[in-house]
Structure 1
Amino acid sequence: MKAKPCSNSLAIKTTHVHPPDTNVHNTLFGGRLLAHIDDLAAISAVKHCRNPVVTASIDSVDFLTPVRAGDAILIESFVTWTRNTSMEVFVRVITENLVTEEKEVCNTAFLTFVAIDEYGRPTPVPPVYPETDYEKTLHESAPERAEQRGERRNKSKTFAQKIGSEYIWDRNK
């Protein structure tokens, strides 16, 4: 497969934060932001591989600054690294006070997607290559993040096996 530049998968979304999107503190619900992040990152992944994708993981998501009702959020995403059937997608979220023009990075995240074929099986993806210094920094640090994801996934599997699948109330009988 022919390698593609990171910029080929760039996706951008801007949305206005309305009161129904916020919690009792008048700030954006974290889950609402996660939905935007997952949606846009999936678009980047599909643009890169031109196949359906599934979300395999979302790395830790840190909410750096609050996003208030009336603000806008600009979300950017692109594929930073690939393996055989998986892609790492970087997402950056910027909040903007539309009245004062103040902008801040309020969130960053890395997501992993797996490309699937028409039968739902993993399918190969093209390699990706960086062009800008920004992309190169993300691309070069990706193998370390992938290793950390693998370790975290193994720990999660071990923990899930330990706690089992019985409902808690069934254990008390």
Structure 2
Amino acid sequence: MGRRDYAILLLLAKLGLRADEVATLTLDDVDWRASEILVRAKGRRRARMLIPPDVGAVIVAYLRNGRPKSSCRRLFVRPHTRARRRLCFRMCDHHDRQGRSRSRWNRRLRTPRFHIFRYSLATELLRSGATLSEIGQLLRHESHDTTRIYAKVDIDALRTLSLPWPGDVQ
């Protein structure tokens, strides 16, 4: 269970995949020779993405030592409801330990919105100097307006774009 959860979390956090994109991955979507994964994105689009070596190693560990024997071709065999809840509780507990706001969590059901991983990845890329265009390509956004949502987070970068206030008033 831990290997599967870890592999899922890495795909969400490092590749910026959406939860449904992870859920629909099949064994045939992984091209080990090219280190690529075929992602079925929104709008029936498909995208090939490079698999970083650390993410690939975690997926291999899951396939070898964590994936139950099954004729199902999905990469991640669908977890029982209890297992999914356990993953959600672990994530909530981790979130609490980090002292982060729970505004992105459904308090009643204690289930995370997995989209927060895409948002965190984009924010980190923006802080490390990536352009909005590069972030939009990675996250497979059709519109630049969608990617611009992430710009509001980087206050220091936005300050460099602002004009000085006229006069002595600040």
> Higher strand share goes to which structure?
1
TM-score (norm 2): 0.22
TM-score, scaled relative to structure 1: 0.21
Considering fraction of residues, name the structure with more helix.
2
